Amino acid sequence: MEPIGITIVIEPLNKKESNVITSVSEAVVLAGKMNRPPIQVLANLYHMMEENEPLENIETARSYLQHVHVADSGRMAPGTGDYPYVL
């Protein structure tokens, strides 16, 4: 397969919104099984917090991590909700 310059990211969603891939670690396993460099992972802090997924999973996924969505509780701006962001 010839590269065409497109990266595809797998975004895990929380279990209220999906029943397929619900953690960064699951997304990394899937990306690894695909074994295609353009298939990467997106970490979404809102979904991670909803699933009580450890933030350390972002570090563990770093070789696959292409993009990160940052949000606070209720999908509000960082620092305006209940999540313990250090400002």
Domain chopping of the chain, boundaries:
8-75
Predicted local confidence at residue 83, as pLDDT: 80
Q: What is the pLDDT of residue 21?
A: 97
- What CA–CA distance (Å, rounded) separates 70 from 31? 21
Query: What local confidence, expressed as pLDDT, does residue 17 receive?
Result: 95
> How far, in Å, are 1, 7, 15, 22, 47 from residue 18 at the CA level?
30, 22, 5, 7, 10
Tens digits of residue pLDDT in 19-48: 999 999 999 999 999 999 999 999 999 999
pLDDT at 78: 87
